[in-house]
Structure 1
Amino acid sequence: MNENLFASFITPTLMGLPVVIAIISFPSMLFPAPTRLINNRLITLQQWLTQLITKQMMTMHNEKGRTWTLMLISLILFIGSTNLLGLLPHSFTPTTQLSMNLGMAIPLWAGTVITGFRNKPKASLAHFLPQGTPLALIPMLIIIETISLFIQPMALAVRLTANITAGHLLMHLIGGATLVLSSISTPTAVLTFIILVLLTILEFAVALIQAYVFTLLVSLYLHDNT
C-alpha cells in the first residue's frame, strides 16, 4: 500500500535515465508566444495576467529591486504551471521533490542576501541586532537572528513541498476510498466522490496560491535587502 501511495512521487525514468529535466522544461513550451501583430485571446489573457502579477508584486520595490522582475515572473509562471500539470492523471510533479525546491530557494535567497550586503551593508548587519537590546542579550539575539536568516530558504522549500505533497496524498486516499466504496455502499461512494471533486478544485487553487506565496516571499526578502 505504501509503495503504491508514494509511487507518484518517484522520479520517472526512461531507459534507466531520469527524465526530470524534460519534465521541468515542458511547462515553458505551453505558453504561447505572439507571432503576429494582432494577438489572439489566449495570448492577450496571458499578457494581462502577467502584467497584473507584475504590478501587484513589484510596486513596493525600488529601482534596484525591479531589476528582478523578469526572474520573479518567470519563477511564478514556472511553479504555477508545474503544479497544475502535476494534477493531471499519471503525471509527475517536480515541486513535490524537496531537492528541487531547495535548488530554487537557496540561490534566490542567497542572491537577495548578497544584494543586501553589497548595497547596504550597515542596514543588513543591523538586522542581526535590534536597537536598544540589553548588553547581556546581544550574543543570544545575534545567534537567533543568524539561525532565522539561514532557515528562510528551508522554510520556502519545505512549505511548497509539504503543501503540494499533502494535497496529492489526500486526493489519492479519497480516490482509492471512492473506488472501494463503490462496490460496498453507493450513497457513501457518491458522497466521497463529491468530496474528491471539491478537493480537486481546491488543489487547483492551492497550486496557484503556493506559486504566488513562494514568489511573494522571495520578493519580500528582496525588498528587505534593496
Structure 2
Amino acid sequence: MNTNLFDQFMIPNLMGTPLLMPALLIIPLLLLNPKNQWLSNPATTMKSWYITQITKQIMTPINKPGHMHSVTLISLLILLSFTNLLGLLPYTFTPTTQLSMNMALALPLWGMTVLIGLRTQPTTSLAHLLPEGTPTPLIPILILIETISLLIRPVALAVRLTANLTAGHLLIQLLSMATMNLWSIMPPLSLLTLTTLTLLLLLEFAVAMIQAYVFVLLLSLYLQENT
C-alpha cells in the first residue's frame, strides 16, 4: 500500500534493478505486425488505418523536406500513446510521469529541429530571433526574449506531458481511496464516487492519447518552422 500519493510515481525496482527499461520494452510486444497473407486480422488493419490517418494529420502542414522525418514522429507518437495507456492498467507503472524521461525525449528531438533549420536555412532560422520592423533600442531585449522562448520549448514539452499525466493519476488515486473508505460508512456516496471514478478513468484514456498527439504535433510545428 502506498504511504503517500506520490509513491505511485516512483520507479519500481526488482532485486535492486529499476523496471523502467522493461516497461518501455513491453510496447513493441503489444504492437501487431502484418503477416505475409492476403487479408490482415482486424487489429492489424485498425493499427494500419490509425497510423495512416495520424500521419496525414501531422505531416500535411509540414513542407516536403520535412516529410523525411515522418517515421521518427509517428514512432514517437505510438511509443507515447502506448506508454501513457500502459499506466492506466492495474499494477503497472507509467514511465512518462517521470520528468527525466520526458526531457530525454523532448531535448534531443527539439535540438534536431533547431539543427535542421541551422543547416538548411540558417538565415531564416536566425531571423526568428528578431521580428521584422523592431525599433533599434529594443533589438537586444527582443533577441534575449526570443532566445529564452526558444530554449524553453523542450522544457515546456516535457513539463506539459508530465503534469497532465501526474494530475490525472493523482485524481484517480484520490477517488479510489475515497470509494474504498466510504464503502463501509456511506455506501450511496461510495457508489457516487465510484461512478465519478469510472468517468474520470475514461477521461484519462482520452488524455493519454491527446497528450501524446500534442507532444508530437508541437514537435512537427517546430520542424515546420525550420524546413
What TM-score range do you get, normalising by the shorter chain? over 0.9
RMSD: 1.1
For 1:169 and 1:70, how far apart are their aligned partners in 2?
33
Partner of 1:119: 120
The alpha-carbon deviation at position 190 of structure 1 amounts to 0.8
For 1:2 and 1:161, how far apart are their aligned partners in 2?
20
For 2:96 and 2:225, how far apart are their aligned partners in 1?
26
Partner of 2:21: 21
Answer yes or no: is the 8 Å Cα contact 2:66–2:224 preserved in 1: yes
2:28 corresponds to 1:12: no
Matched positions, count: 226
For 1:63 and 1:99, how far apart are their aligned partners in 2?
33
Query: AA paired with 2:198?
Result: V
Query: AA paired with 2:97?
Result: T
2:211 corresponds to 1:223: no
Partner of 1:185: 186
Query: AA paired with 1:5?
Result: L
1:128-185 Cα distance to aligned partner (Å, 9 max, x none):
1001001110000000000000000000000000000000000000100011111111
For structure 1, the 5+ residue unaligned runs are none
2:51 corresponds to 1:69: no
Answer yes or no: is the 8 Å Cα contact 1:65–1:222 preserved in 2: yes
For 1:81 and 1:169, how far apart are their aligned partners in 2?
20
Query: AA paired with 1:152?
Result: R
Query: AA paired with 2:136?
Result: L
Partner of 2:215: 214
Query: AA paired with 2:93?
Result: F
2:206 corresponds to 1:202: no
For 2:17 and 2:31, how far apart are their aligned partners in 1?
27
Partner of 2:144: 143
2:79 corresponds to 1:78: yes
The alpha-carbon deviation at position 19 of structure 1 amounts to 1.9
The alpha-carbon deviation at position 62 of structure 1 amounts to 2.0
TM-aligned CA distance change 1:2 to 1:46, over 3 Å:
closer
The alpha-carbon deviation at position 4 of structure 1 amounts to 3.2
For 1:63 and 1:56, how far apart are their aligned partners in 2?
14
Answer yes or no: is the 8 Å Cα contact 1:58–1:69 preserved in 2: yes
SS across alignment from 1:171: helix
For 1:58 and 1:170, how far apart are their aligned partners in 2?
34
Partner of 2:163: 162
Query: AA paired with 2:30?
Result: L
TM-score normalised by the chain length of structure 2: 0.97
Answer yes or no: is the 8 Å Cα contact 2:62–2:221 preserved in 1: no
TM-score normalised by the chain length of structure 1: 0.98
The alpha-carbon deviation at position 2 of structure 1 amounts to 7.7
The alpha-carbon deviation at position 13 of structure 1 amounts to 1.1
Answer yes or no: is the 8 Å Cα contact 1:8–1:91 preserved in 2: no
Percent of aligned pairs sharing the same letter: 55
